[in-house]
Structure 1
Amino acid sequence: MSGTVHGVGLGPGAADLMSVRADRLVRGARHVAYFRKGGRQGQARRIVEGMLRADAVEFPMEYPVTTEIPLEDPRYAVALAGFYAKCAAHLRGLAEGGADVVVLCEGDPFFYGSFMHLFTRLKDDVPVQVVPAITGMSAAWTATGAPITWGDDVLTVAPATLSEAELTRRIAETDALVVMKIGQNLPKLKRAIAAAGRMEAAWLVEYAAMPEQRVMPLAEAETAPYFSIAILHGEGRRP
């Protein structure tokens, strides 16, 4: 019988924010896979430190590129497509051999996560199950100490990789905003929020729910690490 590949959402970064189902799967897994940048432990692996069984077989999946090639460069898609295909082939082989595999996923597996690229390559060949989780953006707006939406507020989630004009339009048109994938796009994002006239209300949350969590006005931010999320709170109807 075929084994199952489990895409397990670990939540925003704190082990005690994992679901009971995720905790059970992680602790019982014989085969554990996770993404990481070359030479790093990887955030997903860090979250489960001390939780894996002693005989767990780990499969680190190291990205061939991160920021070295621009997203619009055709080489970027080619490199990642080959990488995901190779990783999926390894996991498929384990499952076809009868082994269950847990793929550790930061945040929620179906929300801007690398696991999605494995899911589409595996779902028609072997059983794949997904364990949802608290997203990083939920931890980020909680860290600001204020609700993200009220009443009829519309929440927009946007990647900072959009063009400056498109970012500005979406920021101006929404009530509440979450911006992901900031990194090198921080200057562009700040210009877009300023152009939309909302800079005074914007926040940046770094490493939400992690020990190094930091919350600051976006206007004061000079850099934005990978685990950064920008927040604009809604101010809608309330009793």
Structure 2
Amino acid sequence: MLLSGLTALVFLGACSTPGRPVQGPTHPRAVLHPAVLRPVIVGRAGWHADQASVRAGLVYDRSVRAVFIHHTDNPNDYDCAKDVPAMLLALEQRHIALGWDDLGYNFVVDRCGGIYEGRTGSIDRDVRGAHTEGFNTDTLGIAALGNFGPGQPVPQPMLRAIAEIAAWKLDPSVSPLGHVRLVSSNDGSRFPKGTAVSLNVVSGHRDVYETDCPGQALYDALPWIRKTAAALRAKATYPG
């Protein structure tokens, strides 16, 4: 059933404070990701993004060293074909209303395995998102559309899609099974500004922020996502 009204489409609770992007030098980056790993992605035009409301000054990083997984807290019974575009538009408009320059997440995945470009330019460049307070630099934010707390099963197509994005977007030198050292950029996270933290390359929002996000069911599936992303990487041939 089509959900009515933009207000009804957005439920921001556990992931309601993804964090502001840190301003810095903007620069393009050569794409090193193997084309064979690139999944099918619906661009922003495909879900009718409110491009006119996106603020100038998006920041670009030189690498993707880690991935943070989120959920959006929407109801899980949406129709992937009919409801998702309006849900994404409402999410983008909510983030912009909160003062962010665009939708905070780089990519959003629906329960049917559909992958959507979130923040402007995330397909072609390493755009710094506003998804994980204190840890936006050199990281990627992927949001699962729905609520995946205890007792809420995560659809297998959704898990597979998250793994596909991680395998494609992480830098070639970074293993999805590995760990990464990141430094907190502000005191809004679990860690004071300047604190160096060792994290899984594929982590949940709760690992660095006081939240239940991405929900216990999805958090418990992170080992599967890491293993699947690594397996996809093992089959890939990188450009010389």
Task: Give the structure-1-normalised TM-score.
Answer: 0.26
Tell me: higher relative CO, structure 1 or 2? Use CA pairs within 8 A at least 6 residues apart. 2
Q: Which has the larger radius of gyration?
A: 1
Query: If the length of structure 2 is used for normalisation, what is the TM-score?
Result: 0.26
